[in-house]
Amino acid sequence: MDVLKKYSIAHKGLGMGAHRFEFEVDDRFFEAFEGSEIRKGSAKATVEMDKQSDRLSLRIGIRGEATVECDRCLDELTLPVEYDGTLCVRYGQTENESDGEVMWIGPGETEIPLAQYIYESICLSLPCQRVHPDDEHGRSTCDPDMLGRFRIVSEEEFDGMAASAERGASPWDKLKEIKTGE
């Protein structure tokens, strides 16, 4: 069964007025999105829906955490997820379509698919800069082993690498020098 199928609301048989739904997001949810920058996570999405004759108004709140790759040391970094948004679902003439705020669903569609919306909302709620925070002494809490392995090459070292590359030497030899010279 499609893992994402359960993140849908069967709206057809529902009466007018308020309805509430909850969805649990877990590691398998993120695995279902190919190339996801979120490796794993755990969150709860709460949907408050108001059904009207011509549309469905959804208020969606997501709380939990998501694990991404730290931009600096590439080790795992777990960030809080906090998102609140609204989505208006309208009945369209053609296929399902969404611009993030309004979703059109076809007249024959019995379910509102929310997996993509939830996924994108979680991604949006994460900060642009994803690095381990400094501790109370101002020291980075990044994994020191990982940092050593993926040390950022300074501008000077980079120039040196470029120069030796021009002379025909492999920049990787220079990198090795830098590494062993520590």
Q: Which of residues 53-72 bind Zn ion (CB under 5 A)?
A: 70, 72
- Considering only 7-15, 86-94, 95-103, 129-137, which stretch makes contact with Zn ion by CB under 5 A? 129-137
- Among 25, 38, 103, 142, the residue binding Zn ion under the rule CB under 5 A is 142
- Among 83, 103, 117, 132, the residue binding Zn ion under the rule CB under 5 A is 132
* Nearer Cβ to Zn ion (31/71): 71
* Nearer Cβ to Zn ion (145/173): 145
How many angstroms separate the first and last alpha carbons of the chain? 52
What are the distances in angstroms from CA 169 to CA 47, 90, 175?
A: 60, 62, 11
In the complex, least distance from residue 41 CB atom to Zn ion, rounded to whole angstroms? 18
In the complex, least distance from residue 39 CB atom to Zn ion, rounded to whole angstroms? 14
Count of residues interacting with Zn ion (CB under 5 A): 5
Radius of gyration of the chain (CA): 23
In the complex, least distance from residue 82 CB atom to Zn ion, rounded to whole angstroms? 21
* Nearer Cβ to Zn ion (100/144): 144
Instruction: Compute the CA torsion angle 122, 68, 4, 9 (nearest 10 deg).
Output: -20
* Nearer Cβ to Zn ion (102/131): 131
In the complex, least distance from residue 122 CB atom to Zn ion, rounded to whole angstroms? 20
| CA angle in degrees (0–180, nearest 5) for 84-64-129 | 80
Nearest to 59 by CA among 83, 37, 85, 22: 85
In the complex, least distance from residue 78 CB atom to Zn ion, rounded to whole angstroms? 11
The position carrying tokens 């698919």 is: 113
Which amino acid, 10? A
β-pair type (55-69, 76-91): antiparallel
Contact positions vs Zn ion (CB under 5 A): 70, 72-73, 132, 142
